[in-house]
Structure 1
Amino acid sequence: HSLDHEHILSGILRCPLCGSGMYGNVNRKKKKDGTLYKDYFYYACKHRRLVDGHKCGYRKQWSEEKINNAVEEVIRKLVKNPKFEEAILNKIGSRIDTEEIEKEIEGLEKQHRQLTGAKARLGQQMDSLDIMDKFYEKKYQDMETRLYRLYDEIEGVENSIEEVKNRLLNIQQQKISEENVYQFLLYFDKLYDKFTDLEKKEFLNSFVEQVDIYEQEQPDGRFLKHIKFRFPVYFGDRETQELCWDNESTVECVVKMVHF
């Protein structure tokens, strides 16, 4: 650990064997005169137990600088694409389609009004019963049973309204989160290098969900295998949440765009 250093992709980078998050570590050695060599920061697998009970055997240590730079370069290539900027600007401020959810809320609220109205009318009927009527007790019990049933139905509808409204709120908050990330991406190339390691880590965690690598560097020098983003990204004429170097339909476009 170093006070000035953050393991930027810790947990996001995945072990190529067991798929668990790889975590940052530091190799710190002393020289004969007691001074320290330059810290070497690396990502390594925690060797979690697999389904068969054995521990993951992946021992390779990847330089944090090498992995971080490769992922950053992918994003730089994306944001420098003119079509990417055009698509981002179209995305920002665009209206999210919540019509179905709003109709669902409207229907539930109408149902709630009908039930509360029925409850009020039933209460009035109970108050107006003739206590001298020989069937008073039976009528009152029947109405009371109906009243309790209405209370249960009203509670169920209220719970449904709250659940649907929370769903709508989550969609709206997700939209805001996406727009914040998109706004930053427009200025990524100008701002990213000025960030502290902690700020870089926070941003990449908000934008990148998962980074997969090959077990070893490929003959052509590539080692990134797959990047999954939390929000859609744009390149060429496509919108996607994933870049996969194993996908033949994707690899040609991405390889032309990104060289390591």
Structure 2
Amino acid sequence: MIAIYVRVSTEEQAIKGSSIDSQIEACLKKAGTTDVLKYADEGYSGELLERPALSRLREDARKGLINEVICYDPDRLSRKLMNQLIIDDELRKQKITLTFVNGEYADSPEGQLFFSMRGAISEFEKAKIKERTSAGRLQKIKKGMIIKDSGLFGLKFIKEKRTLEIIDEEAKIIRMIFDYFTDHTSPFFSRVNGIALHLTELGIKTKKGGKVWHRQVVRQNLMNPAYKGEYEQYKYDTVGSYVSKQAGGKSLLKLRPKEERYVINIPQIIPTEQWDYAQELLGESKRKHLSYSPHQYLLSGLVRCGICGNTMTGRKRKSHGKDYYIYDCRKNYAGSKNRGCGKQMSENKLNNYVWKEVYRFITNPEKYSAFKEVNKTNHLAEELEFVKKEIEKTKRGRQRLFTLISLSEDDEINIEEIKGQIVELQKKQNHLTNQLNEIESKMKDAQHSKLSDNALKRAIDYFNHIGADNLTSEDKKAIINFLVKEIVIVDSDKVDIETY
């Protein structure tokens, strides 16, 4: 039986146009019959020896099902000379003739030499194609062009302009994610998994249309500098990765050094300071996960300067050879809009004052119930808008189905199935309406309510469970985060504590 083998990779289709169909047509003409066994590998690199169709051909050859193999060209068989010789040797041992459409290779020293030369040339051409493709991409990157669509949520790749543009609806979700993560008033503050679960419950679709948000996807979004307007290209060294994956192995992607990468400015979705703060929170989370224990600031992320409004951060200082810690109103990172006024306060002094007030509050909440609550509701507003739009979409969907039933005279339409869809849409609308009511209630409470009873109850329950004499620094921090939204340092003797 005559067998024909054809192969094409995506890269070669784009460059040479040597399609599978054209190779089959040429091989059938060479065979002089259509009664052949066909083996086709589409989208597989010629550098691989283990390819599905080629493996089947070699196995059928060993079983004695084939007496001749016709291939369009040696580089279709393989682009590596060694692999060509391995396959040729296997077929010869089975007394199977190997014939090529482009040229005859006689069983002679001259023919073997020519065969070897063609294999070497094919391998050289493959290397040159890779070199030219890589060089061309790098030149585009250097000119500030985006070379491929990375599928970023909130951003659309404009191929004609080689740029990225903001997708408004998706960008709102990205802002919502960052607000959830960095806003101390959010129930998902610094909680990647909580955000992922909440987005899933809201029915927000992922970039690929998925219904489930995984925590790693949320984390990757929070870590991506593209959202602060910095798009990195030429970030990975991909040498050998394509061949390794097609052979069933792992991706061989390796991060290039930062100095070798190229950063292109793109439309900004998240303010730089908010993105930087998200990285700080992610870093804290990672250190906890790795059980790494630097100095833990009891009031981390809660302290704000009452003079310039800047967030105050913890810093280590030395005095007489000993370490001590302060909260400092100063931003050292590049691009900060507000460098801070330089106000400082001793960490011990502030910790003692805040914990004393919190302790008095949770042991006698009625006495201190006058604490004023000021909530940020940015993320609630975004969430409210999304749910309203989903409700409208659901209503329109139900109306279209009702219209289809009333106007249709086609007996082939399954009325019961459509009714089932209407019921499901009604359930979805009811669920969304409940969510809408909850969000509006939260926004209303945030504007004029006192300290959240739920937050207070959690703090008191936590305190009572551990016991006053057994509280660790982490326990105190947890209780403070339940109750305290912000600590404003007005001056060295005046500190305002804002609660939830």
Tell me the TM-score range normalised by the shorter chain.
0.3 to 0.5
> Whose Rg is larger?
2
TM-score, with structure 2 as normaliser = 0.27
Greater RCO, 1 or 2 (C-alpha within 8 Å, sep 6+): 1
